[in-house]
Structures are given as C-alpha cells and as structure tokens.
C-alpha cells in the first residue's frame, strides 16, 4: 500500500509505502509520534473518518482522523483489524463476553476465543473496567486473532504483555500468516519479533525506510546514558545514613471487594480469571537512592502494590510503611509530598485542561522543580491542550507535576508503552533531574520503583528486580545489580 | 445475555422508579406523613439494593457527589424557602409541605441516581444489538455512560493521590473532609466530562469499525 496523508493542507505522511501481501509479517519501528499511530490506522482502513461536528477541546484531535488520504497503491482485501497501544480504547462494551459476542456475532464458543491467549473462561464474566492493562490487551488480541482477517495491524501492544503473552503473540502472528493473512506490527520492543519478521522497516517521522540497525542504536545509547545518570544521581548520596527503608511491606494481604454481579474488583486474579484473587503475603522493602523493577504476569497485582503505597487501596492485613510510618496513619499531605507517581494510564491523572494550567499550579505551589521540568519538556508559552499530547508528554507532565524536592519515592507504572527509545531517554533524564535536586538540597535521594514487563528497560536501569507471583513478591537473583554498579560507575566516570 | 429479565421489563423498572422518585412524588403530598414515610422507606430500600449490587466504593462516591450537589442546591433553595416561593405551578403548598418539598428534592434525585445505576448494573449493552444500527448506537451511548462512571472513579482516585479529594481512609470523617468533598466535586465532574470528551473520538472510531465488521458479516 502506498499513500499520502495530510490534515488541513499540511502533509503529515508523504508517500508511505508498506508492501502488504498475504502470508507476510512486517515489522515497523521508529519515531513514536502522531504519524506513527496514523500509519497503523490508515493501513487498517480505520482513518480517515467522516468529519464530525465536534467540541472545541477535541477539534484538533478529530482533525487528525479526518484528513485527506491519497492512495497510490491499494492495500489487501479481506477485512482488517487494528489494535493501538492504549488498551482502554479497544472496547465498546461492559463485559468481556459482550465484547466477544459483538465481534463474533454470537458464533462459536466465546471461551475458545479467550483460549487463544490462555485466558480462562471465568474472564468471560469479568467487567472490562476491572481488568488490568495487560489483561485488556490480551482480551483485545484474543478477539483480533480469532477472526479471519486479511490484515492485522498491531501498534505498541508488546509492552503490555508478560513473557507468556509475548510468546503466544508471536505464535499467533505466525499462525495468522499461515492462514494467508498479513500481519503488520508497529513496535518499539522489536528484539523478540525481529527473527520472525519477513521485512523490517523504520519510520523516521515522515517516511518509511528499510531498517538498518544504526537507526535505533543512537536512541538506545541515549537510554543507557540516561539510565546511567539516574543511577549516578541515586548513588551519589546513598552512602550517607538515612531512614532504613523508603517503603516497606510487612506481610501485606489484599483483596478487592467483590460485590455480587462482579462489580468493582478482581483486577487481580488467577490466570483463569477466577475470583480467587489475593495478594497473600507480600513483604519487601525499597531503600532510598536505588532503582527497583517490579514485574510479573498480567493481572498478578503489580499496579495494586503501587495503589497500596499510595493508599488508594487499603490492605486487608499486614502493614505498608512509608518512611517508617504506617501509611494507614500517615496524613495525605505526607504521601503527596513524598511520592511522585505516574500511572499506567496517565491521561486519567490529568485534571487540568492544558500544560499552562500546570505551569501556573507549579508557580502557585512554589515548586521550582516542577517549573524547571515543565520548562525543559514543554517549551513555549502557548497553551498546549491535553488532547494533543503524546503518551510521552502525558507521562512527563504527570512526572513534572507530582515531583518536588521533597519526593522520596518515584513510581512509574508501565512507563515504556507508546514511547520510543528517545522518549525513554527523556523520561529517564527527567527522573535523574528529580533525584539530583533532592540530593543537591541535602535530602536522601528518592527510591525509584518501575513497574514494567520491559526487562531490557529494567536492565538498562540496573534495577533490582522483584517478581509478583502467586500473590507474593519474590526478589530476583542479583544479576542486575552487577550491571547497575557497572553502569553507575561508567556514568560517574563520564560526569566526573 | 445478562440476567433473566427481559429488556422491556428492565426498561419498565427504570421508568417506574424514575417516575416514582421524581414525577409522582409531588402528588403523594396530599397523603401527608405516610407518603413521606413510604418514600423514605423506598429510598432506603433502593439504596440498600444499590449498595449490595455496586459495592461500598461506588456507594460512597455516589453519596459524596450527591452531598456536594445537595449543599450547592440548598444554598440556592434556602432563599426560596424563606421567601415562600411556590415550586409547583399546579399545586399550592402549605408552609410545611413547601419546606418538605424543597428539602426532599435532593433525596428524590438520590432515588433517581440509585434506580439509574441499578439499571446500568442489570442491563447489558449487547442486549440492544438486536435493534440493528439503532441498537448499536444505544450500546455506544450506554458505553459512554459506563465509561463516565469509570472515569469518575479514576478521576476521584487521581484527585485523592494529588491530595485534592478528601481521604476518608480508616473511616475518618470530619466536617473539614466533607467540606473538601463539596469543594472538589465540581473539579471531579468537570474533569470527568473532559475525559469523556477525550475518550469519544476513539470510541467513535471503534464504533465505526464494529459497524463495518457487522455489515461485512451480513447482519442487519
């Protein structure tokens, strides 16, 4: 397919050429901008849509989807499906069963649809809103791969999947190809897919090029360098004495309330999706100045651990301590001052209309660090509407807004989705600034907790990793620590 | 697909509940105290059903929002009560009934909230698909409503984490926290609306993709 796409007379994508063909798996990586997302939607025939009467807040956003498409060479027939990087966007119905019913027309066994991604039949009755991000993505992928489509386009789905999920995805791609379909994957995490791809391309922000390893290596080098800065900033002061742990979990148990009809809850569950969820006996500690990684299967309770620290959920037993104080007795102000949190769906954390509002709040709250970060990553005095922010910008905005010199814990939940290596480096540089600011003011450097499936990202940070498994948090063997020390040392040498 | 009640019966329950709490209530005034007692008993019953079906958290958020709105309403209603402004054009109320009418307004609204949210809980949007494209549009509207409920909860959580929403953890309750809830309610509602607006373009795209898929399947 060869096409050009423009909005309001401005060309966004110029002669994009993607050689779609049956029995082909194409892998595209590159700059994660608005154009990258549009490429996937256009290939799948999702855009452009008809112009709509719309509200001013999303006029610019709608313009992106209602542009002018000129096709020089058509795609392939046989129907298509598209999945984007935000799993929240894939669903039109309340429950998993309803979603499957609508997509399959009630034909076939809905349990078998979920079986594609090894999701148990109990998931059928789950409310979509109670699924974790990874579970949503698995359900959406199950539906996509159960149909016989000529073309399947996946954009940024990998960061959401646990190890078994990634393996199943690869298997399903090969199967879909075997059925005569064409699969296009637009992805940043390409290491697991590269061996099976028939062709590999790079999107440089305007056009599609044949891939060369040099395209990504500059970005990856930036990630490693920024990770080194984070480690260097943290280790600079971690030798000094301070409180024993920033966060400590002591035999914590947790269970979502489970009203009848499956209302709120069970966003942590067994792999069969049953209601037998629990965080059973969670004990671990995070020290200041260190970087930690938390990984585990989809729906194992990783994000719930963050919510327990934030006291957005309440433990059923045991205790969570923040700076030595039980969070159940800490004041909300203490938690707000001490914790900087970027959730897996950052747009849900944004409560203001534009970046300028956040700048004003930073000034009003006399938070020079937030002002500095906003100034660094959102240049220009114009009012940038939230609707036009990329996932990277959304995350940077939340990070800047919730950071302060008093921050003692930084939590990033699935920070890599929708972000290319250059964006990951930006995020890590912002992180390093926050840590340096704390240290420069004589405070203990914050602990950093990164919740992610992206083990490469965690490794580049030299994170001490924990795994959430069967309701417990288990420390991984210390292989990463060696790398942490080495990377930190290198960064200090570079700086010094 | 969900529950055993027929779609039409569920609609009837919704309409009957809303009618009782909002439309018919003024006519019950003529029966005096028994009517109010009956009304309060039904409200408590509906509230209990809502609490059991939707959970403690939804119940608490609904009450917080209702409380916030009620305080604002009472600020407006108080001068009207003091001036004895008759609220109904078709009925002249004595002073006691006039006060009861004004004060019961938020309670009636709460009853409608309960009924509407119970309806959302017992119905499945997929039930509308049998009505073809119109049904699909209803399903989309339904999804938008459900998304708004979820968005409200997520926004509340975000405000809580940012220290803007009162933290009632550990059963703490004080007038200060209640006042904070009232103060933060407009931000909560406005942000929820903003999030729905931001969500809508993608929902519209998903909707169109599903319509296309269904038409390709040869369904009406």
Which burial class, exposed, middle or buried, applies to A217 when counting CB atoms under 10 A from its CB (0-12, 13-18, 19+)? exposed
Q: Which residues contact A490 (CB under 8 A, 6 or more apart)?
A: A228
Mutate which of B140, B147, B194 to disrupt the A interface (most A C-beta within 10 Å)?
Answer: B194
Q: Higher confidence at residue A82 or residue B61?
A: A82
Residue B92 pLDDT:
78
Answer yes or no: is pLDDT of A488 > 50.
no
**Closest residue on chain B to A88 (Cα):** B199
Does any domain span residue A253? no
Does any domain span residue A466? yes
Residue B55 pLDDT:
80
- pLDDT bin (cut points 50, 70, 90) of residue A14 is confident
Residues B133 and B185 in one domain: yes
Does any domain span residue A71? yes
B4: contact with A, CB 8 A cutoff: no
- CA gap A438, A206 in Å, rounded: 40
- Judge: B207–A261 Cβ closer than 8 Å, yes or no: no
Lowest-confidence segment of A97-111, A295-309, A424-438, B117-131 by average pLDDT: B117-131
Share the mean pLDDT of chain B.
Answer: 80
Q: How far is B188 from chain A (nearest CA, A)?
A: 8
Residues A177 and A232 in one domain: no
Residues A85 and A182 in one domain: yes
What is the sign, positive or negative, of the torsion defined by CA atoms of A136, A137, A140, A141? negative
Question: At CA A489, angle to CA A485 and CA A490, rounded to 5?
Answer: 120
Residues B109 and B146 in one domain: no
- pLDDT bin (cut points 50, 70, 90) of residue B184 is confident
CB A35 within 8 A of CB A420: no
Residues A179 and A237 in one domain: no
Interface of B with A in 174-213 (CB under 8 A): 187, 191, 194-195, 197-210, 213
Q: How far is B78 from chain A (nearest CA, A)?
A: 32
Domain count within chain B? 2
Residues A172 and A234 in one domain: no
Share the mean pLDDT of chain A.
Answer: 84
Alpha-helix runs per DSSP H in A238-354: 302-309, 332-338
Does any domain span residue A247? no
Lowest-confidence segment of A283-297, A312-326, A438-452, B88-102 by average pLDDT: B88-102
Q: Which of B105, B123, B141 is the last residue of a domain?
A: B123
Q: Higher confidence at residue A486 or residue A61?
A: A61
**Closest residue on chain A to B3 (Cα):** A261
- Residue numbers in B near A59 (CB within 8 A): none
- Judge: A348–B154 Cβ closer than 8 Å, yes or no: yes
- Residue numbers in B near A402 (CB within 8 A): 162
| A151 Ramachandran zone, left/alpha/beta (phi>0; psi -120 to 50) | beta
Q: Which of B123, B143, B171 is the last residue of a domain?
A: B123
HSE-up (13 A, CA, CB side) for residue A385: 12
Does any domain span residue A329? yes
Q: Which of A62-76, A424-438, B30-44 has the highest mean pLDDT?
A: A424-438
- pLDDT bin (cut points 50, 70, 90) of residue A452 is very high
Answer yes or no: is pLDDT of A264 > 50.
no
Does any domain span residue A263? no
Q: Helix crossing, A213-237 with A479-495: angle to 10°?
A: 90
Lowest-confidence segment of A285-289, A475-479, B165-169 by average pLDDT: A475-479
Q: What is the average per-residue pLDDT within A353-364?
A: 88
Q: What is the average per-residue pLDDT within B101-118?
A: 87
- pLDDT bin (cut points 50, 70, 90) of residue A338 is very high
Residues B193 and B211 in one domain: yes
pLDDT in tens, A18-74: 999 999 999 999 998 888 888 999 998 888 887 777 677 677 778 888 889 999 988
- Judge: B150–A129 Cβ closer than 8 Å, yes or no: yes
Does any domain span residue A260? no
- Residue numbers in B near A329 (CB within 8 A): 170
Residue B133 pLDDT:
77
Residues B98 and B44 in one domain: yes
Residues A235 and A148 in one domain: no
Answer yes or no: is pLDDT of A242 > 80.
no
- Domain holding A156, by residue range, is 2-211
Residue B216 pLDDT:
75
Residues A174 and A201 in one domain: yes
Answer yes or no: is pLDDT of B174 > 50.
yes
Which burial class, exposed, middle or buried, applies to B89 when counting CB atoms under 10 A from its CB (0-12, 13-18, 19+)? exposed
Does any domain span residue A252? no
CB pairs under 8 A between A and B: 147
Residue B48 pLDDT:
92
Residues B157 and B215 in one domain: yes
Distance of CA A423 to the CA centre of its chain: 12
Residue A239 pLDDT:
53
Residue A29 pLDDT:
92
Answer yes or no: is pLDDT of A206 > 50.
yes
Q: Higher confidence at residue A463 or residue B203?
A: A463
- Judge: A52–B204 Cβ closer than 8 Å, yes or no: yes
Lowest-confidence segment of A41-45, A176-180, A320-324, A490-494 by average pLDDT: A490-494
Residue B209 has which token pair? 């993709």
Closest CA to B83 of B95, B67, B91: B95
Q: Which of B65, B92, B123 is the last residue of a domain?
A: B123
- Residue numbers in B near A343 (CB within 8 A): 158
β-strands A151-155, A80-83 pairing: parallel
Residues A135 and A224 in one domain: no
Residues B52 and B106 in one domain: yes
Mutate which of A100, A110, A332, A341 to disrupt the B interface (most B C-beta within 10 Å)?
Answer: A332
- Domain holding B49, by residue range, is 1-123
Pick from A46, A58, A129: CB nearest B197: A58
Answer yes or no: is pLDDT of B4 > 70.
no
Q: What is the average per-residue pLDDT within A468-485?
A: 70
- CA gap B177, A244 in Å, rounded: 33
pLDDT in tens, A140-164: 999 999 877 889 999 999 989 998 9
Answer yes or no: is pLDDT of A427 > 90.
yes
Mutate which of A50, A87, A94 to disrupt the B interface (most B C-beta within 10 Å)?
Answer: A94
- Judge: A47–B205 Cβ closer than 8 Å, yes or no: yes
pLDDT in tens, A369-412: 999 999 999 886 556 777 778 889 999 999 999 998 889 999 99
Residues A147 and A233 in one domain: no
Pick from A95, A129, A348: CB nearest B158: A348
Interface of A with B in 216-255 (CB under 8 A): none
Residue A483 pLDDT:
45
Residues B46 and B112 in one domain: yes
Residue A466 pLDDT:
95
Residues A177 and A308 in one domain: no
- Residue numbers in B near A410 (CB within 8 A): none
**Closest residue on chain A to B58 (Cα):** A264
Q: How far is A322 from chain B (nearest CA, A)?
A: 15
- pLDDT bin (cut points 50, 70, 90) of residue A259 is very low
Answer yes or no: is pLDDT of A203 > 80.
yes
Residues B203 and B142 in one domain: yes
What is the sign, positive or negative, of the torsion defined by CA atoms of B19, B20, B24, B25? negative
Alpha-helix runs per DSSP H in A94-181: 96-104, 110-115, 133-146, 163-178
Q: What is the average per-residue pLDDT within A285-308?
A: 91
CATH number assigned to the domain comprising residue A436: 3.40.50.300
Q: What is the average per-residue pLDDT within A299-312?
A: 91
Q: What is the average per-residue pLDDT within B78-101?
A: 82
Answer yes or no: is pLDDT of A198 > 90.
yes
Interface of A with B in 166-225 (CB under 8 A): none
- Judge: A336–B161 Cβ closer than 8 Å, yes or no: yes
Residue A19 pLDDT:
92
Give phi and psi for A354, each to the nearest 5.
-150, 170
Residue A172 pLDDT:
94
Residues B75 and B152 in one domain: no
- Residue numbers in A near B146 (CB within 8 A): 94, 129
Residues B135 and B110 in one domain: no
Residue A393 pLDDT:
92
- Judge: B1–A353 Cβ closer than 8 Å, yes or no: no
- CA gap A324, A408 in Å, rounded: 12
Residues B93 and B153 in one domain: no
Answer yes or no: is pLDDT of A482 > 70.
no
- Residue numbers in A near B143 (CB within 8 A): 91-94
Answer yes or no: is pLDDT of A220 > 90.
no
Question: At CA A420, angle to CA A88 and CA A18, rounded to 5?
Answer: 85
- pLDDT bin (cut points 50, 70, 90) of residue A201 is very high
Residue B172 pLDDT:
62
Q: Higher confidence at residue B177 or residue A13?
A: A13
Residue A277 pLDDT:
54
Residues B18 and B98 in one domain: yes
- Judge: A79–B210 Cβ closer than 8 Å, yes or no: no
- pLDDT bin (cut points 50, 70, 90) of residue A261 is very low
Residues A235 and A172 in one domain: no
Residues A197 and A236 in one domain: no
Domain count within chain A? 2
Residues A65 and A168 in one domain: yes
Answer yes or no: is pLDDT of A173 > 60.
yes
Q: How far is A91 from chain B (nearest CA, A)?
A: 8
């Amino acid at each position: 397919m060869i096409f050009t796409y423009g909005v309001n007379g401005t060309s966004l994508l110029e002669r994009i050429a993607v050689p779609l063909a049956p029995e082909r798996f194409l892998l595209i990586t590159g700059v994660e901008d608005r154009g990258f997302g549009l490429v996937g939607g256009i290939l799948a025939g999702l855009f452009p849509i008809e112009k709509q009467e719309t509200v001013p807040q999303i006029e610019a956003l709608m313009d992106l989807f209602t542009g002018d498409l000129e096709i020089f060479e058509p795609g392939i027939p046989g129907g298509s499906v598209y999945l984007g990087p935000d799993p929240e966007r894939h669903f039109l119905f309340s429950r998993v069963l309803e979603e499957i019913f609508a997509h399959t027309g009630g034909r076939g066994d809905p349990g078998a649809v979920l079986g594609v991604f090894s999701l148990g039949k109990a998931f059928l009755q789950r409310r979509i809103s109670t699924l974790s991000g990874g579970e949503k993505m698995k359900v959406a992928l199950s539906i996509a791969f159960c149909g016989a489509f000529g073309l399947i386009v996946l954009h940024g789905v990998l960061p959401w999947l646990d190890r078994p999920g990634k393996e199943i995805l690869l298997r399903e791609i090969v199967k879909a190809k075997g059925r005569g379909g064409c699969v296009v994957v637009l992805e940043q995490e390409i290491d697991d897919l590269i061996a099976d791809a028939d062709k590999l391309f790079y999107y440089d922000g305007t056009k599609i090029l044949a891939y060369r390893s040099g395209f990504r290596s500059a970005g990856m080098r930036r990630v490693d360098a920024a990770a080194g800065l984070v480690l260097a900033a943290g280790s600079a002061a971690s030798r000094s004495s301070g409180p024993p742990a920033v966060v400590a979990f002591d035999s914590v148990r947790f269970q979502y309330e489970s009203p009848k009809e499956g209302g709120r809850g069970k966003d942590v569950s067994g792999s069969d999706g049953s209601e037998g969820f629990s965080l059973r006996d969670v004990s671990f500690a995070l020290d200041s100045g260190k970087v930690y990684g938390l990984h585990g299967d989809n729906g194992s309770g990783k994000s719930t651990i963050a919510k327990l620290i934030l006291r957005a959920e309440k433990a059923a037993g045991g205790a969570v301590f923040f700076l030595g104080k039980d969070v159940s007795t800490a004041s909300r102000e203490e938690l707000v001052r001490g914790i900087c949190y970027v959730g897996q769906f950052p747009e849900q954390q944004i409560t203001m209309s534009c970046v300028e509002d956040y700048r004003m709040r930073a000034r009003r709250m006399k938070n020079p660090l937030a002002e500095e970060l906003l100034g660094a990553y959102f240049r220009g005095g114009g009012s940038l509407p939230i609707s036009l922010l990329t996932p990277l910008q959304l995350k940077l905005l939340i990070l800047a807004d919730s950071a302060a010199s008093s921050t003692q814990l930084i939590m990033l939940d699935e920070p890599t989705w929708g972000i290319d290596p250059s964006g990951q480096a930006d995020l890590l540089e912002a992180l390093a600034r926050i840590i340096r600011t704390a240290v420069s003011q004589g405070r203990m450097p914050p602990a950093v907790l990164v919740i992610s499936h992206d083990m490469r990202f965690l490794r580049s940070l030299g994170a001490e990793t924990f795994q959430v498994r069967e309701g417990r948090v288990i420390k991984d063997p210390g292989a990463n620590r060696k790398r942490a020390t080495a990377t930190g040392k290198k960064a200090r040498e570079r700086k010094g | 697909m969900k529950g055993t009640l027929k779609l039409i019966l569920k609609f009837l329950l919704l309409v009957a509940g809303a009618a009782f709490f909002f439309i018919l209530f003024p006519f019950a005034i003529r029966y005096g105290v028994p009517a109010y007692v009956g009304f309060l008993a039904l409200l408590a019953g509906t509230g209990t059903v809502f609490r059991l079906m939707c959970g403690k958290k939804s119940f608490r958020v609904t009450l917080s929002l209702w409380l916030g709105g009620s305080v604002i309403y009472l600020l407006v209603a108080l001068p009207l009560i003091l001036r004895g402004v008759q609220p109904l054009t078709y009925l002249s109320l004595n002073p006691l009934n006039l006060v009861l009418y004004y004060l019961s307004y938020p309670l009636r609204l709460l009853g409608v909230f309960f009924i509407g949210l119970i309806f959302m809980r017992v119905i499945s949007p997929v039930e509308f698909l049998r009505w073809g494209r119109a049904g699909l549009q209803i399903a989309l509207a339904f999804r938008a409503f459900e998304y708004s409920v979820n968005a409200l909860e997520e926004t509340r959580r975000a405000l809580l984490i940012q220290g803007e929403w009162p933290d009632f953890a550990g059963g703490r309750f004080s007038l200060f926290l209640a006042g904070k809830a009232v103060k933060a309610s407009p931000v909560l509602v406005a942000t929820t609306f903003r999030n729905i607006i931001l969500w809508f373009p993608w929902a519209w795209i998903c909707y169109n993709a599903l319509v296309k898929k269904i038409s390709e399947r040869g369904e009406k």
